[in-house]
Chains A and B, each alone.
Chain A
Amino acid sequence: MAPGRRQFLGINGSGFISSRRRFMQGLAGVAACGTVSGTGAAAPPTPYTPVFFNAAEWNFLLAACDRLIPADANGPGALALDVPRFIDQQMTTPYAQGAQWYMAAPFVQGPDNLGYQLPYPPRDLYRRGIAGMNAHATTRHAKPFAALAPDVQDDLLRAAEGGRLVFGDVPSAAFFDQLLANVMEGAFSDPIHGGNTGLGGWTMLGFPGARADFMDWVDRYGAHYPLGSVSITGETA
């Protein structure tokens, strides 16, 4: 062995095995704890005061999340998973301000397949999109989106999804796609980001989360994995 080689050894020379072991030891007995499976009822979200969305926007977000991922026999809905909280918290990250998007002018609209060409980062899409949805709902049904019956809300969401509404210079599909993408992220990302409460999203899907070691399960063909999900901070379900 060359002198000093251990300093760059991948495994034995680093501390990661021991830190991983400590982490996994914290999970001992997890399998026996059982899992929180979907009850079919939408639990109210954890008490939370939004920092980005105003009251009208927040009401829209709660209602839309409840329709996009409803609680049903397959598992919890977006409300019980605190997806609205996740989205509000995301709005204060650089991502929501378009920090990862190329936002240089000019903004020229073209065929859909050449991709997003609006000058709006996610925060602006939410502001304009929610205002547009509520304005449309008020014009058509004399109530904001959140006050409408679920089937009417679904119709409006489908219209937005299909690009059949226009909110100023924001095509409704651009807003809807942004919303749906963030709803999915909120329901299925690590709870460290504010959603997927109780690991309910992962549990209904059968995703073990941060377990990330299947050395002894890779060839257990077709078998159901017995351990519950675990999060980055060690929360288990």
Chain B
Amino acid sequence: MSDDARRLKPVDVVVVGGGWAGSIMAKEMTEAGRTVVMLERGPDRSTAGEGAYPASIDELEANFRYKLFQDLSKSTVTIRNNASQTALPYRRMAAFLPGEGVGGAGLHWSGVHFRMPPDDLRLRSRVIEKYGAKFIPEGMNLQDYGVSYEELEPFFDRAEKVFGTSGEAYKVNGQVVGQGNVFAPSRSDHFPLPPLKDVYTAHLFRKAAAEVGFHPYSLPAANASQQYTNPYGVQMGPCNFCGYCSGYACYMYSKASPNVNILPVLRRHPLFELRPNCHVLKVERDSTGTRATGVTYTDAEGRVVTQPAEIVILTAFQFHNVRLMLLSGIGRPYDPVRNEGVVGRNFVYQNVTTSVVWLDPRVETNQYIGAGGGGVAFDDFNSENFDHGPLGFVGGSPVWVNQAGVRAIAAAHSGGPPGTPRWGSAWKAGMIDTYRHSLRIDAHGANMAYRDVYLDLDPTWKDAYGQPLLRMTFDWKDNDIRMNRYVVDKIGNVAKAMGARNVHLGMREFGRPFDTRQYQTTHLGGGAVMGTDPQTSALNRYMQSWDVHNVFVIGANAFPQGTGYNPTGMVAALAYWAAHHIRTTYLAHPGPLAG
């Protein structure tokens, strides 16, 4: 306990972070009759405020002044490609865009809402079964999650119903019921809403992918295709494809967010209290170190405050959860030299590259139309859906057209085909042609975990509160580059079938290090992973700290390695899964849920 901290009245549960995971956990804990305080370091946010039309759809403010994103001036990370370098601060937003404020990244996200493929949940076991243990490259920390698809299915289903997710099922209760993803596992129910309409580019991609012999399906989208009322009684409006999704609070109440789908109910609950502008400094522990006693934070007035609690649930963004564990001494920090410890281990990213297809100049692709989660994908090269044996790499990549809405400044920056100048008349001609007549296809691949890719505390740089920044040691590896190149090569045939006039296949290049200056994705993962072995996981399969049993940590930090899918659906399901076990077991018998 910090000596000079004000000490508040104890509560049952303190939740650190006001995004999806925090809102789900707070909702579940209040349903269980517990008092909950949610601490969010950013400001309070609501659709009526940040989302109001037309002021909210200001591209400069939203996407270039980062209105809904983390205030880097207060806290950031340092990054290096390998342990021989000095990591340097991530001073300006670029490669990834963490959120801040009530709703977290769940307010500015796009809405692609997946279930984790069953094979990805037990990837190590699956790879060994199919190809033998020697198939796993030296230095790759391939692991299972310790939880199966069948166990998680009710919670995937719950999350979809809360989010109002639009999509088309393939199998429900083992029966083929529709034109959904043929590689997707059976579901207990249909999506709550039918799929969104295909925008033109997605329509062309669907046709061409099928012609080439792949299996296109509608991306599951947490953008409501129709009016919807979720199980909490909250209403969503139908998405109008406005094109202001990623980076915006949806003015139509169509994109699921904690602010629209959960918090309206939670805010009114007498057992719940939301405290915005409260930055948590550390989780406090008792003298034995094995039990958390609450958290200490800096409040909106800059006072240091201690909030005692029986249960501490960390639901900040992936790397903030890892950092809070390191700052609080919860779990053993990872040491890459000795290959021991778990907090910071198996840090992963997502392996995304974008290809561009130019169509006939008489055809308008209308890229300003979009829904953040909408589009068409094929999974023929995702997960273990294809034979990796002759290919010699682990992991895969869905391929999709996910036209979330391309706005004007972004179009100007994207410019024309490779080789076009970045300014002047040639840029102008190439940029206008590209905006009006092209489409973008992503290979949204997995990134595996490696022994020398990890998170720890930086020795030099500190945040505005005097605490060390988190340090990322990350680079692309041969396995992941080869996977990307193999899958992207398949896009060429699809582009040809679309009648492309020009194609740029965006591939990862050997020898080109991770570049922090270019936006890639905010899908960071791992660093405090779940599992069944405390030597290789920081959390047990119920998201509970192995070492401090009244600390639960919910987020993409739990992923033992990357996946080809967007993380939010899995994070939400893991939150409901953990909450279920807290409610049914832990509250009555506090202690380790796994031995």
Question: Do the two shown chains form a genuine complex with each other?
Answer: yes
How far is B409's CA from A223's CA once the two chains are assembled, in angstroms? 23
Q: Does A218 contact B (CB under 8 A)?
A: yes
How many of chain A's residues have a CB under 8 angstroms from any CB in B?
Answer: 76
8 A Cβ contacts from A45-65 to B? none
Residues of B within 8 A of A113 (CB): 81, 513-517
Shortest CB–CB separation between residue A26 and chain B, in angstroms?
11
Residue of A nearest to B89 (CB): A102
Per-position contact with A for B24-58: 1 when CB-CB < 8 Å, else 0? Answer: 00000000000000000000000110001111011
Residues of A within 8 A of B363 (CB): 222
Per-position contact with A for B235-246: 1 when CB-CB < 8 Å, else 0? Answer: 111101111100
Per-position contact with A for B85-114: 1 when CB-CB < 8 Å, else 0? Answer: 111111111100000000000000000000
Residues of B within 8 A of A99 (CB): 73
Residues of B within 8 A of A19 (CB): 52-53
How far is B54's CA from A190's CA once the two chains are assembled, in angstroms? 11
8 A Cβ contacts from A155-204 to B? 157, 161, 180-181, 183-185, 187-190, 192-193, 201-202, 204
Shortest CB–CB separation between residue B63 and chain A, in angstroms?
10
Shortest CB–CB separation between residue B423 and chain A, in angstroms?
4
- CB of B91 within 8 A of CB of A14, answer no
Residue of B nearest to A38 (CB): B428
- CB of A210 within 8 A of CB of B432, answer no
Shortest CB–CB separation between residue B405 and chain A, in angstroms?
9
Give the residue of B57, B58, B432, B516 whose beta carbon is less than 8 angstroms from that of A206: B432
Shortest CB–CB separation between residue A57 and chain B, in angstroms?
20
Q: Does B284 contact A (CB under 8 A)?
A: no
Shortest CB–CB separation between residue B340 and chain A, in angstroms?
28
Stretch at the interface among B64-72, B142-150, B581-589: B64-72
Stretch at the interface among A3-11, A28-36, A132-140, A141-149: A3-11
Whether A154 touches B71, Cβ cut-off 8 Å, given contacts A8-B234, A8-B265, A210-B57, is no
Whether A8 touches B264, Cβ cut-off 8 Å, given contacts A68-B423, A108-B88, A188-B412, is yes
- CB of A115 within 8 A of CB of B88, answer yes
8 A Cβ contacts from B412-435 to A? 412-413, 422-425, 428-429, 431-432, 435
Residue of B nearest to A78 (CB): B423
- CB of A102 within 8 A of CB of B432, answer no
How far is B71's CA from A101's CA once the two chains are assembled, in angstroms? 8
Q: Does B460 contact A (CB under 8 A)?
A: yes
Residue of B nearest to A224 (CB): B364
Whether A74 touches B412, Cβ cut-off 8 Å, given contacts A110-B86, A117-B89, A214-B240, is no
Q: Does A129 contact B (CB under 8 A)?
A: no
Residues of A within 8 A of B243 (CB): 212, 214
Give the residue of A23, A72, A225 whose beta carbon is less than 8 angstroms from that of B428: A72
- CB of A108 within 8 A of CB of B86, answer yes
Residues of A within 8 A of B424 (CB): 67-70, 154
Residues of A within 8 A of B422 (CB): 161, 180
The 9 closest A-B pairs by CB, nearest first: A10-B253, A8-B264, A188-B408, A212-B242, A189-B60, A11-B237, A184-B412, A215-B240, A113-B515
With A188-B412, A207-B435, A225-B366 given, name 9 new contacts (CB 8 A). Answer: A14-B47, A102-B75, A114-B85, A180-B422, A185-B64, A201-B412, A212-B54, A217-B366, A224-B364
Q: Can you offer 30 A-B residue contacts whose CB atoms are under 8 A?
A: A11-B237, A11-B253, A16-B251, A74-B425, A100-B73, A101-B72, A101-B91, A102-B72, A102-B75, A110-B88, A113-B514, A114-B79, A114-B516, A115-B517, A181-B413, A184-B413, A188-B411, A189-B58, A190-B58, A190-B60, A193-B60, A201-B412, A205-B435, A205-B436, A213-B240, A214-B242, A215-B240, A218-B197, A219-B198, A221-B200
